[in-house]
A and B are shown apart, each in its own frame.
Chain A
Amino acid sequence: MSRKVACIGVGMTRFVRRAHESPGELAAQAVEMALRDAGMSIDEIDSVCLGTAPDAFDGVHMKGEHLIAGAGGSRKPYMRHFVGGGTGVFSPIHGWMHVASGRFDTCLVVCEEKMSPCNPHPAGAFVTIFDRVTEQPLKLTLIHIFALEMRRFMHVYGYNEKEIAQVSVNHKRNALGHPAAQIAQEITVDDVMNSPVLSWPVKRLDISPTSDAAVAIVLASERVARARKPAPVWIEGVGFRLDTAYWCSRDLAYPNYVAMAAQDAYKMAGVVDPARDIDVFEPYDPFDYKALHHMNGLLLDKTGMKVKDLLFKGAFERTGSHPMCPSGGALGVGNPISATGLMKIAELYFQLSGQAGERQIQKPLRRGVTQAWGDLMQVGTVVVMGSDGAAPNTKSLWNGLKAEDLPGTAIKSVDDVPNIPDSPDLRYAWDNGVGISTYLDGLRHGRIRGSFCTRTSRMLIPPRTFSEIGNLDPVSGTFDLADTGTVMTYTVSHVDWDSSPLPKGKVNIFAVIAIDGAGDHTGLVHLLRDVDPKDVKVGMRVKAVWKKEADRTGSILDICHFVPLKGRDTPATPRRIKAPEQTVLTAGQTPGRIPLTYRYTAGVAGSRFYKDLAAGKVTASVTGDGGLMVPPAIFDEETMSMLEPGKVKPLEGGSGFIRSWTAVHEDRSGHPLDAPAVIVQVEFPGVRGSVFGRLALRDGEAPSEGYPVELVKAKATSPDQVTFRLKA
């Protein structure tokens, strides 16, 4: 039997398009506030877990490691988890595991996302979420698959764009009462309809923004929670499910994975009828249709009738019978992916303990559910939270909080603050393996290939050597399939993979095509051409247009595109073939590259560091106990307390000495340097910390530990500009 686990404190930064703070600074600001809200010190925290989505946003490999200090994880059991966009609601589930297992009494759960460093646009980070061989060459991005899913959802459940737009209107209005909100506003359905079409049916105001922010919560065992809070809010049930990565083989209209995760959570929480037993809903709403899509799953309603009825009755409004996203959701508060999910957990905490201020739902609340979603439209994470009827906490830190009370500094442009550019050279050569090599061999010969799983009687595209739905048993045969199929869903896109607009007048029509002979939900994604966008329909019959044989290379681009099928429509029957024998020589590789560049703000403390460095000096921050610390910081990771930015002390530039050093013989890519470069760690007497930099040596000089050094004025904002020289 699991131990009871409660949320007893919340902290968050403002949600902004571009933050001055570094990722660690954002996390620290949220953590300090959560600890303050819980009335605890970092020493009372037994464990820390961190949720954050792709490394490509913040632009740091092993991002979880990078965030340890900011998340309060130094000197603690600390672990990072993730499930893509579902991370924010999975994070409290992982935290729940820490406490419910009996392993710890407290767990600090932190979610951070700084999307703004990613160039040319954070959307570009999504180009590498797709299968590297079968999909990435098509230059898809997240908005395309959202649009494909939205179109399918509309087709199956009979929604029109205006009906869906009402969700965006509601959520942005709800966010007007949220102190962290990035784009709270009063808009109309017409505003949504008239906003620029990005990838039809998705328009600008159907989508949540990209954001920088951090959120933290404190989870505690029953013993700790009852001692600390008059109204702890309990995690009553958790569920998380991950569907197949082969997203073109799935029903896109109904999120089975959300429904299964919800069932797990409901079973644990004792929820029998979610429409009756749950008082408030916070489904993930990165796009307006997604809230409805997810509500179908949360209400376990594959018919979609309940949700449609509730929407049309106005029941999802904050004053309605089934309030949905009283926070304002991702559409109104903002969408720093993982932090969004944890913001929704925070909203249930506020609502169920009477701390939501002007957003407080006025009917009695006993239980709420929140959910997040992500990856390749395949993960559902669900948490049911409940109060135990304690008196609402009307005098909390959060009741009446204003935006100006929250940390987090919005900047208009990265050029407004010291910043550091970087262009990592991230290249790969992927082993295709036998399955994908069989697929690519087929494409080279003008054939779409699949393999058959006898156990489930399903054709699998692309072919595999084993069936993931058939006990991992070997597939029973390889088949050449028809190159015709049926459009299951489509989008008319006006934007490229990096979110930049396509040339005026050009559109790309992407479609999920069920390949003939492979079943309704098994197919592939590709481009449609030679058709007026207005004439494209779900159910349309299409046929592949192949490159000339001499030009084919064994790539998904050997299919130029699909076109409407004209004339005789008699699909070819799948033809079993002798699978080409793949060897280490024929099962080739596919080149890969992550095509992103970054511009990092130096952060609040880093800006100070480089400003001082330009003057040839180092400034130390004064810590709470009066000690000195370098490099300067806005927080002390040992106490997780914020430091006064102005409370600093300049150090004598020539007072440093070498703590350690190394002569490096290779460049950043591993190629030999003409002459070794010396990197030194320099400490200053009586000061905690050190500074890393290059050591400029004059002829005949050699470094050694303890040798005094002095700073050289930096000419630019870059670690490579931090230079010392031996003191004469």
Chain B
Amino acid sequence: MMALLVDVISWACIVVGAVFAVIGAVGILRLPDVFSRMHGAGIIDTLGAGLILVGLMFQAGFSLITVKLILIVVFVLYTSPTTTHALARAALNGGVNPLIERKEAGGDEPSEA
């Protein structure tokens, strides 16, 4: 009974993670410019990969395998924002400007963006 419950939770995590990963990839495909595509990549890096790996953790139970899966999740969560930020800086320096379709009147909109 317990094993079945763990199995169900595990597969629910994997399926939801796969759905989020597909949505993130669709976002990468559909969004208009490189800065907004980073949000899609963010979904893949956080909930997409994260939930699939959490689902695998439930399959592994309490063992060193689970520890390794936790380490993978932690590494991905630590490296993903660093990569995104480096890429955003490179794109800004390379002359790509964020696409803003609707200007806010006033507010704290930076002038150079």
Same complex for A and B? Answer no
A residues adjacent to B (C-beta < 8 A)? none
- B binding-site residues for A, Cβ under 8 Å: none
